[in-house]
Amino acid sequence: MSFLQALNVQGRVISALTLRETRSRYGNKKLGFFWALFEPFAHIAVFIGIFSALGRNSPLGDNIGLFILTGIVPWLLFNNIVTLVMNGSQANKALMGYPQVMPIDITISRVILEVATLFLVFIFFLGIAVYLGVHVEINNFLLMMQPIGLLILFSTGLGLINAAIVNYYPSYDNIYSALSRPLYFMSGVFFTADFLSEDVYKYLYYNPLLHTMEWVRSGFYSSFNSQRYDPEFVIMVSLIVFALGLLADRMTMKISRQQ
């Protein structure tokens, strides 16, 4: 089989897997896509309530809902991709008996569906904001998409590494879940890095998600040009983690075949 033929087969497999994932997640549930909308809405509503109770204004712009939206969508993209990739092979064991289906195909299909879902969610909430009379103007769409692309690579790589670990230590998914929860409060979902003191920032600097949030908001808000995100650091970490994830996936597949 030539390279182009193999690529065509893989493309058809990924398309079929993506369609299967879509039906499984949304088609077989009564509320379907509603849950994809409810999760970010719940986060936004909670933080609007907290900021209002504390009498605080939005750190950026004049609408706290938009500010939280630009933080919660990247966070959900990261968290959901890692979780879906980590559990992908275990949740699709029945498909592994088909010679055309590879673990990486399941990973790609799940990532594609999650990216498409959250993109639609983001557009939906922006549309709601415009309908409600909120001024929405994306300053630099391409600048905003650069960190999102790197975040997808980083999340996928971390998910593949976790999947390799779970393959040998099934309880690791619970350990990772517990360890990752503090990241929600340390990644700039509801604050900007300028809010942090130097003593705190020097430790959080090593959190690539914080840099990603600053980068995304620098592209979204024309009035914001963060000096506290390091693009080179995000690029380096994302590529290294993604490469390690692919290596872990390949090694796990080889060991499974030998067994």
* Confidence class for position 6, pLDDT limits 50, 70, 90: low
pLDDT tens string 160-194: 999 999 888 888 988 999 989 999 999 999 999 98
Calpha distance 252→160 (Å, rounded): 10
Give me the mean pLDDT over the 193-197 stretch: 90
What local confidence, expressed as pLDDT, does residue 149 receive? Answer: 96
What local confidence, expressed as pLDDT, does residue 32 receive? Answer: 67
Q: What is the pTM of this model?
A: 0.91
Residue 258 reports pLDDT greater than 60: no
Helix (H) or strand (E) holding 104: helix 103-131
Q: Which residues contact 44 (CB under 8 A, 6 or more apart)?
A: 65, 68, 69, 72, 125
- DSSP symbols for 3-28: HHHHHHHHHHHHHHHHHHHHIIIIIT
What local confidence, expressed as pLDDT, does residue 35 receive? Answer: 78
Query: Are 147 and 216 spatial neighbours (Cβ–Cβ below 8 Å)?
Result: yes
pLDDT tens string 53-89: 888 888 898 899 999 999 999 999 999 999 999 987 6
